[in-house]
Chain A
């Protein structure tokens, strides 16, 4: 045990540099995914047929193929048509495009779980559809989606490790390097697992806190049952 603490003290600073890359990748991918998801959900719920079909096809393709294949397609495939991306950019784009499909589906579920009458009431008073979406649908769906969005954020935080496959020195890659230098793979990967666990724990707790802070009676969706 003491030995493990010593090992940790020695290698922690090196691993923490990888945490920076991992978190950077995760934040960029989640933000990209979030913005794209808003467009997709608009396409899936409110837009005209051609846009709906495009958004639906997008969601099916990105949910129906492995993320590693998507990453290789972008990093190794696209250069053939002249699009060359650095590993960090390629990974952020791949993860961002992928999470967009999932986030869009969670948003859609949240929007469609809202009673339709409120939109009708808003329109009946003369509010435009844009106003109703902004002031009624979004604030409600936004609150309802937090638990699923939190889950998705954690999944993607762990998925950033696939960037290792295209040579990005993020957290997992650094753990492997430590392993090869010390031949203490067990210790190295235990350490990295603890770091991931702390990171995902912080994300889960923060979003859970946000969910509780923004909770409104009658709105929150708990385990499929309306409160």
Chain B
């Protein structure tokens, strides 16, 4: 359609209690691109994701989604176009899997029950949960919960999906099934911004890696470059640290 990026983040700043957590972050995300954000904890990665859909409105700077500035006015319709997958899944405890995936489609997009059901079944099939439609979240494994929450985001037909450490709450043996779903999504052309230290996903599916530290983007580039010969000493230090952790795990 156009060459404009689907998401454009410009000089976003955010202060919490006098501490500047984001110190002017800018980047673009093209249609169909996947970018992965890495960086030490407390660096503002979650805050950045929450600024994009105004869960935490930025103090300054702006976010443009497909040519439209993200602002408080009409925020619910904008949020409907931005999927969000949380570390803690945040499935609705009292609803069966199918209803978890249907609820916002009905409430926000105004879809009929049939239409919402159809889309829910499609996405649940895509993540391999067709046999769990009637299960409650508490009856699922961690990996299944996260796959259900990805289906919930996908069923809204978002323009992009934000992932905040989607595998960090999972037992190591369950991360694989979630990473596989995310790789498939990226390969199918979904636009994704992923905060994660899953190197498997980064190498196989990320178009670019963004390294953040101390509220700024230190450097960004394709995984092949950034992982093998990073420009900044801080980047290589961080990469050494996480590869070390992964060996221990």
Report whether chain A binds chain B: yes
> What number of A residues sit within 8 Å (CB to CB) of B?
24
Question: B88–A123 contact, CB under 8 A?
Answer: no
Q: Which of B55, B75, B136 contacts A218 (CB 8 A)?
A: B136
Is B244's CB within 8 Å of the partner chain A? no
Q: What 0/1 pattern do residues 82 to 118 of B give for CB contact below 8 A with A?
A: 1110101011111000000001100110000000000
Is B77's CB within 8 Å of the partner chain A? yes
11 A-B contact pairs sorted by A residue (CB < 8 Å):
A117-B86, A118-B90, A121-B149, A125-B79, A125-B104, A126-B80, A126-B108, A127-B103, A127-B107, A131-B108, A143-B94
Q: In the assembled complex, how far is the CB of residue B123 from the closest CB belonging to chain A, in whole angstroms?
A: 13
- A residues whose Cβ falls under 8 Å from a Cβ of B: 114-115, 117-118, 120-128, 131, 135-136, 139-140, 143, 216-219, 227
10 additional A-B residue pairs with CB within 8 Å, beyond A115-B88, A126-B77, A131-B108 = A118-B92, A120-B90, A124-B79, A124-B82, A125-B152, A126-B78, A127-B107, A128-B76, A216-B94, A216-B138
Among residues of A, the one whose C-beta sits closest to the C-beta of B88 is A117
**Given A216-B136, A217-B138, residue A125 in contact with residue B80 (CB < 8 A):** yes
**Given A217-B138, A218-B138, residue A125 in contact with residue B108 (CB < 8 A):** yes
Bound together, the chains give a CA A128 to CA B104 distance in angstroms of: 10
**Given A117-B88, A123-B79, A125-B156, residue A219 in contact with residue B93 (CB < 8 A):** yes
Q: In the assembled complex, how far is the CB of residue A42 from the closest CB belonging to chain B, in whole angstroms?
A: 20
Q: In the assembled complex, how far is the CB of residue A25 from the closest CB belonging to chain B, in whole angstroms?
A: 34
Question: A127–B104 contact, CB under 8 A?
Answer: yes
The winner among A121, A135, A139 for most chain B CB atoms within 10 A is A121
Among residues of A, the one whose C-beta sits closest to the C-beta of B105 is A125
Among residues of A, the one whose C-beta sits closest to the C-beta of B156 is A125
Residues of B within 8 A of A117 (CB): 86, 88, 90
Residues of B within 8 A of A123 (CB): 55, 79
Among residues of B, the one whose C-beta sits closest to the C-beta of A216 is B94
Question: A135–B55 contact, CB under 8 A?
Answer: no
Q: Which of A120, A127, A131, A140 contacts B93 (CB 8 A)?
A: A140
Q: In the assembled complex, how far is the CB of residue B21 from the closest CB belonging to chain A, in whole angstroms?
A: 18
Q: What 0/1 pattern do residues 199 to 221 of B give for CB contact below 8 A with A?
A: 00000000000000000000000
Q: In the assembled complex, how far is the CB of residue B138 from the closest CB belonging to chain A, in whole angstroms?
A: 3
Residues of A within 8 A of B156 (CB): 125-126
The winner among B78, B108, B139 for most chain A CB atoms within 10 A is B108
Give 8 closest A-B pairs by Cβ, nearest first.
A218-B138, A126-B80, A121-B90, A117-B90, A125-B104, A126-B79, A124-B84, A126-B108
Residues of B within 8 A of A135 (CB): 103, 107
